[in-house]
Chains A and B, each alone.
Chain A
């Protein structure tokens, strides 16, 4: 109705501004966004903020191992969150660990989203045998527990950030494909696609320029949830000792290292990385939830 009465609207409202307004309507989501922004910034600038470089073995001092938070080492360095069994500063290790977690989560998310969305939309657009084939592959893929597939892949591929990303993409693309297909199926029946066909546009152009952009909102929602998933999965794999080398610990590996010391009361080696992981996943999920509410037309106020 408001479209008919533009004069009553005081400020010009672009869709993006409306989106922002709706998004920041929720206090929880604002908090989540602030937390996420802070984590991303800290992770990006970790090399400048962190008091030590936890990956430089030459800078570690074994004699400073297992210091409690706030204690001073032999060389006079003080460790705000303590040190682990190798004398690694926990604060620095967490900052660098966050960097790895976010990098792995986001990069694997983007690749999986691209791959999944393309196959999903193609399946929906092509229909018939192609669709049947693609969707059965997706079904089979989703039939396996994600952790199992990732474990097997990493056992074969070996260690390294790139290998973890490959494993995570293999595990995740199916979620995107399924979402993209259902969104595209809805869009395919709409008039503008028929109009585009009537105009004689090529298939690729219809899929890429018309179908895909309109199927994007649900994919973004799935994407945020999946990034959180990917981060948790990476932490799980690292906890199990697969993935990254032990001299360059990510959050999961830090937690695993500290786990052995929990019984003897050195809680900080596990606790603080655990807290950082929890905060990251929580923040992403809060933002994701609100995105889902805002982008879903059925839930619009």
Chain B
């Protein structure tokens, strides 16, 4: 009897913590190493266990993370004040040493398929002036340092020597975040348990189980059947019906991810998938001509794709990021569907009905990726450029695309830093490994003017001026030269069981610690 009273008293004293949350993920998580593979699904899991110095809210606005504050002492020196009394999951205190160890490890992760080193490269030197202050020295004025720091997960100095396999087995996973590592089975699930000693808000769930359910229909079925309480990437075909379903609630927002077409504007001749009208390889590369690229852009009815393929869950795009983001152009709007104008341009460029293309696309990475590619092929074929579609799993697609095996490809880019320099640097800046530029420039677009504008913008401290320069670079790269063809911004949608709520994030992260109970 006394025991029962005691237990009841205990139950009352503890704040309510639900037992378990099951989440259906759309894309497999490839690693538990937060520095191995810069990929949205991986970063999303890492953000539960690890934290960054600078945090981002659901609109990617910067907020304090492991750093309480940061300020530029001069053009190239930054002082970062760390949060005190933060403890690692293993109990040891978090100090400046951990930050230094992290910065040292990031460029040296072996075999990293998409490295985080582009974010650490601007940093020339890092030192700790006291256990809770770090001073960073950049090579050149680098105003976007806080944005870059928002992508870097801090690991404990103790684990810095461990390799990726040790992270994948869980042995080296030691973070400061609201959830601790539980279990990771590649291609199947990730299990996290609440970190009850977390310095911030107490996690609402004792255990979170992420299940990788890549088939969209199966993911929806799992939500409706109650196997999972939350899913990401609700398929567009089901959104209208789920909106009417009282058992679930949807949260959606226009994301920072643009779906775009890249064209081979690098090779002067013999682009691998440019053919003549009969389907034979062609020597000339019409895609080098900006007029041809503009014509392709005009052939595509973006509203039709948004309404028919995406069922309204996309916004036609005229540039890399929606206008609300910093550094975007105020002049560019989605290219109007203008088949006649396209014909005129194509004729002016000297390529009326004389060449065909193959459009390569991943088929499991972006919302409806293969279907969008087919629709684009439809528009181009009707516009006089017979186009085939070749779809493949994203792992194959990205490795082949980065080896420049394609002439015309469909891909997407989410701006991790939350402003316009990220897509400009990665997609249209001239490819240069040492500068970390053009990492995803699979069409090898290159224009000295655009490069110069991006470079000046990146070293301009004043936010407003930098924004205007980035906008001008966008105007030139997209409006004038059509370096890539933006199609639309993805609308990302989450589905949760009634009784739960999630605030949709523009960066598409699915974060269990931001799931709230509504009753």
Interface residues of A (CB under 8 A from B): 56-58, 60, 62-63, 65-66, 85-87, 159, 241, 245-247, 259-266
State in angstroms the CA–CA spacing of A73 and B324 once bound together.
37
Given the known A-B contacts A259-B217, A263-B221, are A245 and B308 also in contact in the complex, defined by CB atoms under 8 Å? no
Question: CA separation between A139 and B403, bound complex, in Å?
Answer: 41
Evaluate contact between B305 and A260: CB separation under 8 angstroms. Answer: no
Known contacts A62-B305, A62-B308; is A265 also within 8 Å of B241 by CB? yes
Residues on B with beta carbons closer than 8 Å to the beta carbon of A263: 217, 220-221, 235, 237-238, 241
B389 at the interface (CB under 8 A from A): yes
Determine if B137 is an interface residue (Cβ-Cβ < 8 Å).
Answer: no
State A86–B237 Cα separation when bound (angstroms): 13
A74 to chain B, nearest CB (A): 11
Whether the Cβ atoms of B381 and A246 lie closer than 8 Å is no
* Docked complex Cα distance between A260 and B235 (Å): 8
Given A62-B301, A85-B371, A159-B390; A261-B237 close (CB under 8 Å): yes
Contact of A246 among B241, B308, B374 (CB under 8 A): B374
Residue contact B363 to A241, C-beta cutoff 8 Å:
yes
**Residues of the A chain whose Cβ atoms lie less than 8 Å from the Cβ of B208:** none
- Shortest beta-carbon distance from A188 to chain B in Å: 49
Apart from A66-B308, A241-B391: 6 A-B pairs, beta carbons within 8 A: A58-B382, A247-B374, A247-B377, A247-B389, A260-B235, A263-B235
Residues in B with CB closer than 8 Å to A86 are 371, 374-375, 378
Least CB distance, A166 to chain B, in whole angstroms: 19
A56 → chain B, closest Cβ, in Å?
A: 8
A62→B386 CA distance, assembly (Å)? 16
Among the listed A60, A62, A246, A262, which residue makes an inter-chain contact with B217, where contact means beta carbons less than 8 Å apart? A262
Query: Once the chains are docked, how many angstroms separate the CA of A123 from the CA of B469?
Result: 77
A66 CA / B375 CA spacing, docked (Å): 13
Distance of B498 from chain A, by nearest CB (Å): 19
Chain B residues in the interface with A (C-beta under 8 A) = 216-217, 220-221, 235, 237-238, 240-241, 301, 304-305, 308-309, 363, 370-371, 374-375, 377-379, 381-382, 386-391
- Which of B216, B374, B386, B389 gathers the greatest number of chain A CB atoms within 10 Å? B374
Given contacts A63-B308, A262-B217, contact A246 B389 (CB under 8 A): yes
> Contact: B378 with A60, CB < 8 Å?
yes
Cβ 8 A contact of A247, one of B221, B305, B388: B388
Residues of A contacting B220 with CB < 8 Å?
Answer: 263
Give A59's nearest chain B residue, CB to CB: B382
State how many angstroms separate the Cβ of B261 from the closest Cβ of chain A: 16
Instruction: Tell me the minimal C-beta distance from A55 to chain B in angstroms.
Output: 11
Q: Which of B217, B363, B378, B379 has the most CB of A within 10 A?
A: B378
What are 26 pairs between A and B in contact, CB < 8 Å? A57-B377, A57-B386, A57-B387, A58-B381, A60-B378, A62-B304, A62-B379, A63-B304, A63-B308, A65-B309, A85-B308, A85-B309, A86-B374, A245-B388, A246-B389, A246-B391, A247-B388, A247-B389, A260-B216, A260-B217, A263-B237, A264-B237, A264-B240, A264-B241, A265-B241, A266-B237
Residues of chain A with a CB closer than 8 A to B221's CB: 263
Q: How far in angstroms is the closest Cβ of chain A from B186?
A: 20
Within the complex, the shortest CB–CB distance from A155 to chain B, in Å, comes to 9
Residue among A58, A86, A261 with the highest chain B CB neighbour number at 10 A: A58
The answer to whether B238 and A264 touch across the interface, beta carbons within 8 angstroms, is yes
Instruction: Across the interface, name the chain A residue whose C-beta is closest to B396.
Output: A155
- Shortest beta-carbon contacts, A-B, top 10: A57-B381, A58-B382, A58-B381, A264-B237, A62-B304, A65-B308, A57-B378, A62-B308, A264-B238, A264-B241
B371 to chain A: which residues have CB within 8 Å? 85-86
**Nearest CB of A to B231, in Å:** 12
Q: How far is the CB of A248 from chain B (nearest CB, A)?
A: 9
Which residue of B has the minimal Cβ distance to A266?
B237
